[in-house]
Amino acid sequence: MKFIKDDFLLESEVSKRLYEYAKKMPIIDYHCHLSPKEIYEDKKFNNISELWLSGDHYKWRLMRSFGIDEEHITGKSSDKDKFMAWAKTLSLAIGNPLYEWSHLELKNYFGFDEVLDEDSAEKVWDLVNEKLKDLSARQLIRNSNVEVVCTTDDPIDDLNYHKLMANEDMGFKVYPAFRPDKVLNIEKDNWKQYLDKLAEVASIEIKEYDDLLKALNNRLDYFENVGCKVADHGLAYVPYEKYNEEEIRRIFIDRLNDKTLSNKEVEQFKTALLYELNKQYHDRNWVSQLHYGVKRDNSSFLYEKVGVDAGGDNIGDSASIDKLANFLDLVDKDDKLPKTILYSLNPNDNVAIDTVMASFQKGPIKSKIQHGSAWWFNDNYTGMNEQLTSLSLQGYLPGFVGMLTDSRSFISYARHEYFRRVLCNYIGKLVKQGRFPDDDKKLRKIVEDICFNNTKRYFRF
């Protein structure tokens, strides 16, 4: 029985027509967690489990909910046993986005357009594994019509694989993204050890706060020379606490001397350092991404057994819209607010984000402050529609930079197709309701801009 058909998620003739435009646009994946090493080495996969299940905590969570033993998820069971457990889990997962994504991936990359369940699992195992013999990481990216990939990289990374790939004709480009979470998290036990590593790679002895800023500027220069145009931050919330420079210098020294910092002092430091970083992004014409609203590693048992990124995270409730607005204002007062994309994991923040954004938009950049695409627990049919609706109501949808994968999988680009179908269906509904004219030229421009053109202009790729 065939499942994914040509009109999947497209409920009107307008949406079907618009999707014909959308599906042809290249992809710029401006935020993902693909391994630069695996791209450079053009990794090949032994089987579908290695490609599909290894490291995919989205699938792991659903398998645990279905009652699959951890041995068949992250344990020592064979790859085939893990795949069979996944097929059994997926069989009746009605309404879950993984059901739709998985079938899109099977159809797009391996030509399997039937249903994956316990009955077809053996057939899919054999079919995909045979096709994987002639596929590799780079081929999967090229087959997805990808023009740019931005990985996620720590300031101390040597970016060796990016440099090796820089002059290769791969059919797409791979650029680093600057992710300074570890240096911001001054409250963490391993912060001082990380500072030592940063000092070593920057060749700067870090004894004072100003030394830290010099070391980070050194690494920003290094990243920029390898083509970096974007920074990313994974935050519980966007910090804001009033401070002065002397307080920050004293807090820094206190932490080096192993003094316990108060919550206020921690937030002052994070506010100050994030401010300095964003000024640098502005001056370099980079894009700053702020991902926030997550509470990580909730299950101590799971963390100890599997580690980080094991599927033990959830939407957090500590993110303050007031602090977000105050932080943006802090940077904007000095006219140093960079192009910024805001992502909250809490969908209840959608309208608030869009109203905050409107306070800081500034020409000549179109949609300088962006409401990022529906993220993590929200990159599904409902979450995407809610984000598009909120942005349309409170902001300027035609200026949106569209979808990203935020994934470690080389076949997650099916999510771009999923998003484009949702986008075209959403716009088609507005037209059908008489809320926008059925002007093909204008509608085509809106769709093609959101899918590709806006992204290319905004990031300068």
Contacts for 70 with CB less than 8 Å, ≥ 6 apart: 64, 305, 306
Mean pLDDT, to the nearest integer, of 312-338?
94
Contacts for 230 with CB less than 8 Å, ≥ 6 apart: 30, 31, 150, 175, 177, 178, 286, 287, 288, 289, 459
Q: How confident is the model at residue 85 (pLDDT cuts 50, 70, 90)?
A: very high
The model carries a pTM of: 0.96
Q: How confident is the model at residue 301 (pLDDT cuts 50, 70, 90)?
A: confident
Q: How confident is the model at residue 311 (pLDDT cuts 50, 70, 90)?
A: confident
Cα–Cα dist 53/140, whole Å: 16
Of 113-127, 239-253, 295-309, the range with the lowest mean pLDDT is 295-309
Mean pLDDT, to the nearest integer, of 107-128?
97
Q: Class assignment of domain 13-45+137-459?
A: alpha beta
Mean pLDDT, the chain, whole residue set? 96
Cα–Cα dist 425/422, whole Å: 5
Model pLDDT, residue 236: 93
Q: 13-45+137-459 and 46-135: same fold?
A: no
Q: How confident is the model at residue 1 (pLDDT cuts 50, 70, 90)?
A: confident
Question: What residue spans define the domains of the chain?
Answer: 13-45+137-459, 46-135
Q: Class assignment of domain 46-135?
A: mainly alpha
Contact 280, 229 (CB under 8 A): no
Model pLDDT, residue 319: 82
Q: How confident is the model at residue 309 (pLDDT cuts 50, 70, 90)?
A: confident
> Is the predicted pLDDT of residue 353 greater than 90, yes or no?
yes
Model pLDDT, residue 256: 97
413: which DSSP letter?
T
Q: What is the pLDDT of residues 141-183, one digit of tens each?
A: 999 999 999 999 999 999 999 999 999 999 999 999 999 999 9
Contact 341, 401 (CB under 8 A): yes
71: which DSSP letter?
G
Counts for the chain of helices (H) and strands (E), in that order:
21, 9
> Is the predicted pLDDT of residue 13 greater than 90, yes or no?
yes
CA dihedral 321, 323, 324, 330 (to 10 degrees): 150
Q: How confident is the model at residue 296 (pLDDT cuts 50, 70, 90)?
A: confident
Please report, for residues 96, 123, 296, 336, the alpha-carbon distance to residue 118 in angstroms, rounded to integers and kept in the order given. Answer: 18, 10, 33, 56
Q: How confident is the model at residue 132 (pLDDT cuts 50, 70, 90)?
A: very high
> Is the predicted pLDDT of residue 24 greater than 90, yes or no?
yes
